[in-house]
Structure 1
Amino acid sequence: MATNTEVAGENRERLEANLARVEELQQRLLAAISRRKPTPQALNGPENELYAKAAQAYWQEWLQNPAKVLENQVQYWGKTLTHFVEAQQTLAKGQLKAPDDPGPKDNRFKNPLWDSHPYFNFVKQQYLINAEAIREGIADLDGMDPKEKRRLAYFAQQITDMFAPTNFLATNPDALMKAVETEGESLVRGLENLVADLEANNGEMLVRLADESAFSVGENIATAQGEVIYRNRMMELIQYSPTTDQVHETPVVLFPPWINKFYILDLKPQNSLIRWVVDQGYTLFVVSWINPDATYADIGLEEYIEEGYLKAMEVVKDVCETDRINAVGYCIAGTTLSLVLSLLKKRGDKSVKSATFFTALTDFSDQGEFTPFLQEDFAAGIEQEIDQEGILPSFIMARTFSYLRSNDLIYGPAIRHYMMGETPPAFDLLYWNGDGANLPGKMFKQYLRGLCQRNEFAEGTFSLFGETLSVKDVDVPLMSIATETDHIAAARDVYRGVQMMGSKSKAFVLGESGHIAGIVNPPSRVKYGHYLNDDLSLSFDDWKAGADKHEGSWWPHWEGWLRKRSGKKVPARTPGDSPYKSLCPAPGTYVAIKARDQNR
């Protein structure tokens, strides 16, 4: 048995080793931060004018309705004082426990000590009281423009979330217990994780959500069999290998968003939409977009359409020896597909037989949760960044989306990764989420100003290729799939855009869950259901109230609709059996380009 002296010696050696590691990590930390390129101030927070407007509105409220302001303050003081007295009374009884009321449920406070320990319970309860007071104070401001008030509420919530006691070592029981159990090793590992993330992202603070070493594109994700048969500066076109002897005559061309990589639709065999479509007897082509660098600064929607959409359609028609194709567009690629359909109508081109839209917005009149990011100061900051870099670096879009769900996508992972020293999970969806793409400067300005801010496509005034495009020009048979909890393309906004389209044959499907899980919802899982209603003349609320709920995936319903528009069966087409020979196996080369490497 080891003596106390031996144990003390071992502990001292471990402490000295950890201190040496900390000193080395500090040097690496400083070196990583020094590589960070400064971003425009507007992208890091709102302009001071917003706070000035809030102060003015609060002052007006005080002058015009002092009773309401005083009532809010008195309620806050009362709750705070009551909370303090209850804690004092419990301690005065000589009981080291929290008051009986454990407070509202919040995933951040799952550790039992938040409810049972008087110190942690007091901190938690006071934080929740403060947070509620801030929310109510903003909600009661009547003298602010609704958009400004929404922005103020958003940024106030970000500040509230940032100051949650779980985000600080001294007030996080999980992190403190882990540090004690590991004799401080968890804190050193956490610092190592922090430094590694900063080094990997050129000094930017981006929390790694998944264990990147667990995945390799083309090896254990994105493994559906196919070949790249065409490549230009904008995209690689993948033709997937058939799994049936016969296929429908009309091929399917799928355009994924270029904000992220296409393999969200082929993460693994069990949930691969790509594999499933091929297994239903379709010749499927998927575009894999380039991950642009600064040389793409002057690339706009024109190039995405001409060298992406139109070129892909031309190649597919040549390969399959058909005059028409069925097109699918996901998210921003669905928005752009609607622009393409308007353009083709102007040109009298009937190449697209039907169109399917996955979570695609065409009417941006309600900016929803993106309201804070679509005001002039933020838009000007985006343009300043683009003018400086030539592109919108992927981390800015990733950060923007993450802050819409900051507790789940920023603070929670940061606590586990940096404060507790845990390795991120080997989760393919989170790996994909972190594998973003840069956006060309000109394209994003067109999208931000013309579509998001000025809503020109819905207004019928969006100009491209010398044509004025309108959502009303979209007149091919179409199906649009939205999802119930989508925070990027809200279902009611998607629905409103579909209502504006000029098609005589159109269908709308509302899937359960969100922007990703609601789309990547294979029939084998029977996890999320969907809603159907043929009457698209109704308001969204009335449409949903009258919709029929169906269990399981919407994929079979869509395939039944697509089958009616896909022609007779013909012998299966194999990649390479056409003038377009294989350039390389799927998933291709463009998908492997990392945004962080482009931005060095």
Structure 2
Amino acid sequence: MLHPAQCDPSENTILQSYDKALRAMASHYTAGISPIALASAYADWALHLATAPGKQLELIEKAARKAMRLTTHAALCSGAAKAETPCIHPLRQDKRFKGEAWQKWPYNLIYQSFLLNQQWWHNATTGVRGVTRQHEEVVEFVARQILDLYSPSNFALTNPEVRDRTIAEGGKNLMRGWQNFIDDGTRLASGRNPAGSDNFKVGENIAVSPGKVVYRNRLIELIQYTPTTEKVRPEPILIVPAWIMKYYILDLSPDNSLVRYLTGQGYTVFMISWKNPDADDRDLGMEDYRRLGIMEALDAIGNINGPAKVHATGYCLGGTLLAIAAAAMARDGDKRLKSLTFLATQTDFTEAGELMMFINESQLSFLEDMMWEQGYLDTHQMSGTFQILRSNDLIWSRIVHDYLMGERAQMTDLMAWNADATRMPYRMHSEYLRRLFLQNALAEGRYLIGDRPVALSDIRVPVFLVGTERDHVAPWRSVYKFHLLADTEVTFLLTSGGHNAGIVSEPDHPRRHYRIAARAHDDCYIGPNVWFDQTPVVEGSWWPALVTWLDARSGKWRAPPSMGAAEKGLNPLDNAPGTYVMRE
């Protein structure tokens, strides 16, 4: 008998295609989650728990104590107009039961029993000796998702706030909620954007900073923004946004546009606008994004702006790619960068948040087969993953607000942008997840550009690093790990807010604050928790701090460059925001 490796390669490929097609078909019914990966995690937990009688007795004891606590609490506050001190408090981030109505009988006992049950299941799914950390996190996460589905806040009969609204309005809130439900279902089925997003039009009231598309290839349009000051700094700013979403999160409405703010401070700003890929782009890889994106953008900027170096800025996934490009440039002696700014950017993926729960060989192979069938990762699949990670905020609270209360949250420019999702090419997304998330190749010096690895420690230009306190995509302690990889001056800034809202932090934005501290290249390392405790809070937006940092590393004022470079074949092609951002 022949070993499989000795079989006809074409026959082997055909047989493998059957397996890929089967898994791709299954993915349509599992939201892209590998059932085998989930079963492996559950089996690991269940088998170890089954062979841990001590843990089982501990859980029985905890269940008995919690039942006694609830019974005692019920006896103390039964019939009272207001509950006494609760026997269990919600977690700090859990806002579901904060209202006054929840503290009255019988709803106080309803939500208290739910929280005690939730706490017991947390005890049951964690701390089982022998279970791998990833499997433990998966089982605990899935248990939490199932429990949240049955939260008393999600049902009209067990939610006192919904009850009070229904009585006050004679049920009109439920009628409006039903209409909202039908409208949302119709929009989802027809592929239309969420209600209210039609009020925001790209190029009309969002992404309206004036400029020109001065370069275009099959992957990017390069936008040069019109200067708003008589003189500008000689070093332009190149912004590399993530291609997981449209670029204009950094150029939303005029009053919260980072682009408009930077041009108003005297900087020439260039922005990469990524093409929204389709099935024909399935073979675009990470190297294509580096070469056709960052490197060709730098070439075009050099032709337009002259020999001055560039302040490069990367956001999220765009920042990770910029770090790779900067390391390769440092390795190869390319000195066109003046500084680097990374916004909510990870370069070490060992603690990359809850998304790491689903990064293993089983899940990635399943995801690759799903993308193999269609050539890309679909927008709904991508957005669904992030919604599940924040289900209380993005799913259940919306169900209560929109369908039970019968209200519609006012659509904002940031929410409209979030609904304007993009696809991810099959090859690129597979390489990104495998080489960075699964293998952590960049942090460990195994990421190859050409046939040689790149190292972030080769970067010598100063770095401005921004993390956000409530980031679920790029947790700030993971962003902070750049300190361990860098051998250059690093200024770390931690701002309030989440992954997106924390970055969109215009100077007039209320309730914003940040911490900032610089570390020289030869300073000793300070851990993130110590850094947080010893770094004072500064009230207000972090944008002025960025400009102050850039000003200190920029040259003397000069006349603005021309829009494009006609003599070098870089004539303006279109007005901003260009054509790629308009494609669905």
Scaled by the length of structure 1, the TM-score of the pair is 0.84
1:221 and 2:202 equivalent? no
* Equivalent position of 2:28 in the other structure: 38
Task: Report what 2:103 is aligned to.
Answer: 115
* Offset at residue 134 of structure 1 (A): 1.2
| Corresponding residue of 1:50 | 41
Q: Distance in 1 between matches of 2:256 and 2:358?
A: 33
Q: Contact between 1:221 and 1:268, CA under 8 Å: does it hold in 2?
A: yes
Task: Tell me how far apart the structure 2 counterparts of residues 574 and 422 of structure 1 sit (CA, whole Å).
Answer: 50
- Size of the aligned set, in residue pairs, is 548
- Pair 1:250-2:244 in alignment: no
Q: Distance in 1 between matches of 2:435 and 2:111?
A: 45
1:237 to partner: Cα distance: 1.1
1:513 aligns with 2:504: no
Residues 279 and 436 (structure 1 numbering): CA distance in 2 closer, same or farther, change over 3 Å? same
2:581 to 578, 588, 591: 591
Mapping of 1:85-104 within 5 angstroms?
Answer: 85=75, 90=79, 97=81, 99-101=83-85, 104=89
Shift of 1:239: 0.8
Q: Is the partner of 1:569 in helix, strand or coil?
A: coil
Which of 432-441 and 547-556 deviates more?
547-556
Structure 2: how far apart are the matches of 1:523 and 1:283? 20
Amino acid at match of 1:571: A
Instruction: Choose the corresponding residue for 1:398, options 361, 383, 390.
Output: 383
Question: What letter corresponds to residue 378 of structure 1 in structure 2?
Answer: Q
Query: Is the CA contact 1:391–1:439 (under 8 Å) kept in the aligned structure 2?
Result: yes
* 8 A contact 1:255–1:334 mirrored in 2: yes
How far apart, CA to CA, are the structure 2 residues paired with 1:234 and 1:184?
52
Deviates more, 1:107-116 or 1:317-326: 107-116
Q: Percent identity?
A: 33
> 1-side partners of 2:236 and 2:262: how far apart?
11
Identify the range of structure 1 (135-144 vs 194-203) with the bigger mean alpha-carbon deviation.
Answer: 194-203
* Aligned twin of 1:20: none
Alignment of 1:539-550 (within 5 A): 539-550=527-538
For residue 201 of structure 1, give the secondary structure of its aligned residue in structure 2. helix
Q: Deviations over 1:332-367 (max 9, x none)?
A: 100000111122233322122221111111111223
Taking structure 2 as the reference length, the TM-score comes to: 0.87
Deviations 1:313-337 (A, max 9, x none): 1111111122532211011100000
Query: Unpaired runs of 5+ in structure 1?
Result: 1-35, 595-600
The structure-2 alpha-carbon separation of the partners of 1:161 and 1:454, relative to structure 1 and needing over 3 Å to count, comes to: same
Shift of 1:368: 2.8
Q: Deviations over 1:473-492 (max 9, x none)?
A: 33322221122232221222
The separation in 2 between residues aligned to 1:422 and 1:529, in whole angstroms, is: 31
| Residue identity matched to 2:216 | R
Please name the residue that 2:303 is paired with. 318
- Residue 140 of structure 2 corresponds to 153
Q: Which of 557, 576, 585 matches 2:545?
A: 557
Contact 1:392–1:441 (CA<8 Å) still a contact in 2?
A: yes
Q: How does 1:355-374 map to 2 (within 5 A)?
A: 355-374=340-359
**From 245, 255, 263, the counterpart of 1:260:** 245
Tell me whether 1:301 sits opposite 2:289 in the alignment: no
Bigger shift: residues 130-139 or 548-557: 548-557
Q: CA, structure 1 residues 462+569, in 2 after alignment: closer, same or farther (shift >3 Å)?
A: same
Q: Which residue of 2 aligns with 1:142?
A: 129
Tell me if 1:60 matches 2:47. no
Aligned to 2:420, what secondary structure does the other structure show?
Answer: coil
- Gap change, CA 1:428 and 1:500, over 3 Å in 2: same
Distance in 1, Cα, partners of 2:455 & 2:186? 45
Report the alpha carbon displacement of residue 110 of structure 1 after superposing the two structures with TM: 4.6
One-letter code aligned to 2:47:
Q
Task: State the Cα distance separating 1:80 from its structure 2 match.
Answer: 4.2
Tell me the secondary structure at the aligned position of residue 362 of structure 1.
coil
8 Å contact 1:197–1:207 — kept in the other structure?
no
1:469 maps to 2:454: yes
Q: 1:514 to 1:573 in 2, by over 3 A?
A: same
Determine the structure 2 residue equivalent to 1:527: 511
Query: What is the aligned partner in structure 1 of residue 467 from structure 2?
Result: 482
Unpaired segments of 5 or more residues in structure 2? 1-25
2:321 alignment partner, SS class = helix
Cα distance between partner residues in 2 of 1:332 and 1:455: 14
1:169-188 deviation per Cα after TM superposition (whole angstroms, max 9, x unaligned): 33234444555566655445
Amino acid at match of 2:128: L
Q: Secondary structure at 1:527's aligned position in 2?
A: coil
* Cα distance change of structure 1 residues 418 and 527 upon mapping to structure 2, 3 Å threshold: closer
Deviation at 1:152, TM superposition (A): 1.6
Change (3 A) 1:466 1:177: same
Contact 1:521 1:527 in 2 (8 A): no
The CA distance in 2 between the partners of 1:293 and 1:179, in whole Å, is 46
Pair 99,282 (structure 1): closer, same or farther in 2 beyond 3 Å: closer
User: Do the aligned partners of residues 111 and 367 (structure 1) sit closer, same or farther apart at CA in structure 2, a change above 3 Å counting?
Assistant: closer
Aligned to 1:572, which of 560, 578, 581? 560
Q: Distance in 1 between matches of 2:577 and 2:507?
A: 24
Does structure 1 conserve the Cα–Cα contact (< 8 Å) formed by 2:327 and 2:456?
yes
Match of 1:425 in 2: 410
Confirm or deny: 8 A CA contact 2:59 2:120 kept in the other structure.
no
Q: State whether structure 2 residue 114 is matched by structure 1 residue 127.
A: yes
CA contact (8 A) 2:303 2:565 kept: no
- SS of the residue corresponding to residue 371 of structure 1 reads helix
What does the per-residue CA deviation read over 1:552-583, in whole Å, with 9 as the maximum and x for residues that have no partner? Answer: 22322222222233322211235356443332
What is the alpha-carbon distance in structure 2 between the residues aligned to residue 583 and residue 292 of structure 1? 21
Q: 1:270, 1:522 within 8 Å by CA — same for their partners in 2?
A: yes
Q: Which residue of 2 aligns with 1:79?
A: 69
Quote the residue 1:285 is aligned against. 270
CA contact (8 A) 1:529 1:550 kept: yes
